[in-house]
Chains A and B, each alone.
Chain A
Amino acid sequence: MRTSVRTGAWVGGLLGALVAVTLASATIGPVEIGARSVAEIALAAALGGTATAPESHRTIIMSIRLPRIALGAVVGFALASAGTVMQGFFRNPMADPSIVGISAGAATGAVAAIVAPVAVPVALPVAAFVGALVAAFGVYALASEGGRTPVQTLLLAGIAVQTFLGAAVSFMLVSAGRDLREAIYWLMGHLHHSTWTEATVAAAVVLPGFLGLLAYARDLNVLLLGEEDAHSLGIEVERTKRLLLTVSSLLTAAAVAVAGVIGFVGLVVPHVMRLLVGPDHRILLPTSALAGAAFLVATDTVARAGAAELPVGIVTAAVGAPFFLYLLRKREVHAP
């Protein structure tokens, strides 16, 4: 009972924070639009009324800023929830969504699509998505033996595959020629030119996946005690691991496919939320997801607020890494 009340309070508070960040972010840009107008435009669009704001403002909010904010929220949501699951699953504080080679696989697919001589529409996100999943399942297959997948082997196989794919990406970059700039920009993580379609497609993968993970929150708690303990408490350990890995890989792949490699959201946000709400995944998972969404929307606002737009991945890493080091020095971050 107490857990559900606490969860409700935290989720409510973080939803409020996400709405506030969204409104604030939508007011910021080359054209100044007040928070009132933003709220009016958004409500009118949602409920079918007419807003008093000028047509140009409506276009800026509904076609440029809000789709970008929505995509940022979905990507942050996906990365933070996948990161939470990976850290719990691997019982390793340095685990993040890219640990099993997902980001490296996506990068390989995306850069291959960018440097390919023939341009195919929507080839880039599809190639990134497929690359991410192929890499994740490759790592899983390499680490499995006789129906068991030891977590340590999985980590090491992930690192080896990441290194190998990193070499492949570097090789393609060296021979990229004119496409080099676009490829590097993609690799740094970005949310510009976002569309409602991208946000909707990503959300269609992320939200059901997240609900699936949430249904396994209790199992994830028990898995934290160790696999033998989990087994003696009735968890089908290997099946649960497979399922958690598959779903969090799907979430990460969807995020990376539309936004490139955005670091630190999946690493730092779960750590901070674990400090605030404790290790129980029934509350940690939803709060991390919402905090990740708000965090990425906020950092993307910073990324695009300057004179020259920065890839958001630079901002998340620049903000996240020092903060993580601060927590580390204060001994606030331990293995989950």
Chain B
Amino acid sequence: MTPAIEIDAVSVTLGDTAVLDSVSTTIDEGRLVGLVGPNGAGKTTLLRVINGVLDPDQGSVRVTGQDVSALDSRATSQLVATVPQSTASTFEFPVRRIVEMGRTPHIGRFGTRTSADRDAVDEAMDRAAVSHLADRPVTEVSGGERQRVFLARALAQETPILLLDEPTSDLDVNHQVRTLDLVTDLVDEGRTVVAAIHDLDLAARYCDELRLLHDGRIRAAGTPESVLTAATLEAAFGARATVTTHPVTGAASVTAFADDAPESTTATVHVVGGGGAATPHLHRLDAAGVECSVGVVSTDDADAETARAIGADLVTVPPFAPVDDEARATVSERIRRADAVVVADVTVAPGNCPTLDAVLGADTPLVVVDGRPVDARNVAGSRGRRLVSRLRARGIVVDDDADAVVAAVRRAIDTPPIHDRSPYSP
């Protein structure tokens, strides 16, 4: 593949800060490459070096084989178009006029617009879905619409390389996906796109490759799966994170948490799951440094997979098999040994009633996740209803939210059961 952008040992110092520190990377033609990294990592600066706005203090940038510092801005602007991050605008140009400005590199000082220019503008507005805004002043459209107006301007520029600085930051979910689908189409047509994206899930889902920047250096480069690992993310963002596979898109999915691991990570929590109800809580507990055990679940349950992924202790029975005496004894022992038990928003069925009995039979502090209404998740009749109400009466009841669960677990561990504190209790 031909390299579209070659960055060779580029350093940029602004004031006393080295914003880019000897950065080298090559971006091949026809690829969508995401720049990820924490705020201030140098993503925007790297884009400004590529489009020639900023001359690097050291090193060189070549775009389609030509040294950017040797090109005048008109020549550069015929190769590289940029969608800026901040598109605030205080003057009332109609949207169409803004998009027409994308033709500036193609029109001479005394030239007039040709039909080719008009076609390019029409097509760009159509693709960015802003045609209906053509005559509206750009000051009166929403932030998300304005971002697409500036995307249309960059499309009208008809360059082989497109730079996007946080192209989705002002967009709602629907437009984020539509914008990135459009960008993917552009890449399929052979354009090269470099996008600074702060949303790691979107970056993983859409980008062919990622470059992880941190402190002005590229810390990881390659496919999203190879760049987005718990280790690289913790080093760059200073946050604990878990990386899983998104169930629908199949792309890497990142869940980051503030680095709030308790000082002692000796706490163990037993989680009663099933049907995937415990998965978010398991990730969150694992990220908080809690040792987990899970059960009883069937061997092919989604929660069992999660437990294996985070290395949790697992009590299973074969699919569709009832909880036998051996499994019940094992899970009772886990529950007794644990510092706390979490009952996830599971469906209460005859199959897991023995597990819930075991929970009630132990003194371990209890956290009960209150998700769906009881009747919506109880298929065990009056026995199930009774079990749920007894669990709720004994434990701390929290919403189905991983952060709330972790907080409740902390409270449960810090507050010993009432009969432990009372001298008059048996």
Chain A interface (Cβ < 8 Å from any Cβ of B):
91, 215-216, 218, 221-222, 224-226, 228-229, 231-237, 278-280, 334-336
Contact = CB atoms under 8 A, between A and B. Distances in A.
A234 B92 contact: no
Nearest to B150: A229
B174 interface: no
Given A235-B104, A280-B97, A228 B89 contact: no
Given A278-B92, A280-B93, A233 B52 contact: no
Interface stretch (B78-86, B332-340, B368-376): B78-86
Contacts of B101: 221-222, 225, 233
Contacts of B84: 226, 228-229, 232
Contacts of B48: 228
A215 B109 contact: yes
A32 to B, nearest CB: 46
A234 B78 contact: yes
15 contacts: A218-B104, A221-B97, A228-B48, A228-B84, A229-B84, A233-B101, A233-B102, A233-B105, A233-B157, A234-B77, A234-B78, A235-B74, A278-B94, A334-B90, A334-B91
B299 to A, nearest CB: 56
Nearest to A221: B101
B91 A224 contact: yes
A233 B91 contact: no
Contact of B89 (A225, A234, A237, A280): A225
A41 B77 CA distance: 56
B74 A234 contact: yes
The 10 closest A-B pairs by CB, nearest first: A234-B77, A234-B105, A234-B74, A232-B82, A279-B91, A233-B104, A335-B90, A232-B51, A228-B53, A231-B53
Contacts of B76: 232, 234
A231 B92 contact: no
Interface string B146-157: 000000000001
Nearest to A1: B113
A232 B53 contact: yes
B24 interface: no
B221 to A, nearest CB: 25
A335 B102 CA distance: 23
B263 interface: no
A231 B93 CA distance: 19
B155 to A, nearest CB: 13
A224 B72 CA distance: 20
Nearest to B80: A232
B107 to A, nearest CB: 8
Nearest to B91: A279
Nearest to A335: B90
